[in-house]
Structure 1
């Protein structure tokens, strides 16, 4: 597992004398028979005794952000309470393959080089002489065939074979074996990132997209142990900062008011090198635009501010955002594990001498609802807060659209 982390620049975790310290990544790592589930937590407070709660929250956030393509409340694995997020992904993949098999695996035309009894297609003279000098009743030809032995189906089959070795659930493994028995004979292929980059979908193959995305995640993140033994490493990990940003954006976008434009990663160039084409970008997480004017900048942080004060670098970042987008309000948005109907907001402002330039505050929003599930009303409460904050800024700074 340490080798796997090192091959990825040590970005997932740090090895310590007494164990492992994970960074901002959450998900699951399987090394041989050892499965480690890395769950999100708010600040330094561990989710001890709440593993099932935060596992469900993580799955729901992945589904909400379409990083897991099937809605969480529709997953059969929730009925069985598997112990790992990995089993959840395997379940989703098996369900997708079962659906494709029920619909019927698509066929495609392909060229086949084969020694046959009839002359069809193009005769390959060199191969024909090599194989049929004695048996002149045969013909070595290249011709078109229309069957299921093509790249999409080959990827599905390869990932299914991997699932049968990864899953610890007898029920899921039985379903995989049933799928393997019903799959046609296909060529075994070697896959890498380029394999998936060259795939193109059309109306006929669009139903394969979700299954192929999960197959890519499984196959590209699977690594045999470097010692050549029976162990293997599979890591399905997500950057919690990116997931939190995406979740907040989608929550806002769903509940935005008419005339609002919610934009993620709105970027501008702010530094240029002399005598070269290089430059640097400034890029806030979320901007709220009304009538072509940016009223608010939001930067999401999956952490808690130290000593209840924002970091200097975070404040400088927000100051630049306000200046470049001519916004009068910037928000540092943090998570909270404690449910509250009211949003906790510590207001503040940037000041130059006696002149107040623009506002920047710290906003804490609850991840969990009162029922200990993902808070589905977060977007609505955020929109209400933004409306109130825009109104306050309009009065203080006499903003004109």
Structure 2
């Protein structure tokens, strides 16, 4: 297993030949990344002269025997990959995109593993927990020629096959089996993971789990099969596991091969992840003040076209804080961006500022906030007064390492 670790916005050279451990990729691996790019969100990475630069998407890309992990740039920890990995894991757990491991402390130790192993070990841990309560089993109809009566005797088939075999009975019966679509999807994902470049611990857990699914048929699962699965009282416990399976399959690129191995990309948009992370923090803080937080709404239109009475320009704030009477108390948007408080405008986007002013007018609120990750040039909140109104806009830094106590604005 070989891992290259990059920090967000770092460039990776492309070389003709590389040695083990060299922070670079070969032309073959670059071609694979070029093919993968077509299936990823725009601007996940950009190309330079014999180099590739990763943008605001963090996660891991598996290129045959090589894993490239892209970690977020965390203020004060840029030279500590373990700390950046730990912060990303904490953000994923708090944003509910990665489930906390049993005991609640295992995520701290996971920083020592490569990011791909983190995702695999987390999946294995959740699957082990569900298997402890029992594997999914369902009844399947069987039609067999057997020596004892089981279920119902099929008279027509009995005459057809057993006139000269009185010792046989052709029966139809239901059998409780673990060989069902849910388990087939899980086994397929375990097999995918087993072929990835993983560490010793992850490889061992995958081997053990695959043995548990030995009686399950090998089926090539896809997103259509996963989306067709339904859940009932017997299977709802596995719904989160199946959603994780969907994530792994969605990240697989079976048509992009390096050697015999398909490539895999598991990336997170840091803008969206930061929004979810901040919302989780401020939801709890709002509750202590008797407020309720709503994400991505309530939605309102900015203007109405007079001649047609059509409403236009939908507004969708990241976070709206409401009191017990559903009155708007304040509005906040989260931005995964770098600022500089040494500049007069701090590097705040003019479009973001106009958007907040629009919220103040349309939602009739006087308290607004733009929330950014804590960084070198943004250590403390900064207050801006919107001219011509009573509204104030706070620029708030949030510590994404989770080590500092956060206060509501």
TM class by shorter chain equals 0.7 to 0.9
CA deviation map 1:2-22 (0-9, x unaligned)? 211112354421122232222
Distance 1:83 1:250 in 2: 26
Distance 1:318 1:122 in 2: 73
Matches within 5 A, 1:311-322: 311-322=349-360
Distance 1:77 1:293 in 2: 38
Distance 1:166 1:82 in 2: 18
Q: Equivalent residue of 1:35, what SS?
A: strand
Structure 1 position 358 matched with structure 2 position 391: yes
CA, structure 1 residues 77+284, in 2 after alignment: closer, same or farther (shift >3 Å)?
Answer: closer
* Matching residue of 2:326: 292
Distance 1:214 1:356 in 2: 47
For the Cα contact (< 8 Å) 1:13–1:21, is it kept in 2?
yes
* Matching residue of 2:403: 375
Structure 1 position 233 matched with structure 2 position 263: yes
Q: Equivalent residue of 1:159, what SS?
A: helix
For these two proteins, the number of residue pairs brought into alignment is: 364
Shift of 1:283: 0.5
Shift of 1:53: 0.5
* Matching residue of 1:398: none
Shift of 1:52: 0.7
Structure 1 position 145 matched with structure 2 position 175: yes
For the Cα contact (< 8 Å) 2:153–2:171, is it kept in 1?
yes
When the two structures are superposed, what TM-score results if normalisation uses the length of structure 1? 0.79
Structure 1, unmatched stretches of 5+, are 369-373, 387-401
* Matching residue of 2:291: 260
Structure 2, unmatched stretches of 5+, are 1-32
Distance 2:192 2:249 in 1: 8
Structure 1 position 329 matched with structure 2 position 356: no
CA, structure 1 residues 258+313, in 2 after alignment: closer, same or farther (shift >3 Å)?
Answer: closer
For the Cα contact (< 8 Å) 2:369–2:393, is it kept in 1?
yes
CA, structure 1 residues 292+182, in 2 after alignment: closer, same or farther (shift >3 Å)?
Answer: closer
Shift of 1:275: 6.0
Distance 1:11 1:144 in 2: 53
Distance 1:365 1:78 in 2: 20
For the Cα contact (< 8 Å) 1:262–1:289, is it kept in 2?
yes
For the Cα contact (< 8 Å) 1:60–1:71, is it kept in 2?
no
CA, structure 1 residues 38+123, in 2 after alignment: closer, same or farther (shift >3 Å)?
Answer: farther
Give the one of 42, 50, 54 matched to 2:84. 54
Distance 2:351 2:291 in 1: 29
Structure 1 position 302 matched with structure 2 position 339: no
For the Cα contact (< 8 Å) 1:223–1:233, is it kept in 2?
yes
Shift of 1:108: 0.8
* Matching residue of 1:392: none
Q: Which has the higher helix share?
A: 1
Matches within 5 A, 1:270-289: 270-271=302-303, 279-289=312-322
* Matching residue of 2:97: 67
Aligned-residue RMSD, C-alpha: 3.4
CA, structure 1 residues 104+15, in 2 after alignment: closer, same or farther (shift >3 Å)?
Answer: same
When the two structures are superposed, what TM-score results if normalisation uses the length of structure 2? 0.77
For the Cα contact (< 8 Å) 2:89–2:107, is it kept in 1?
no
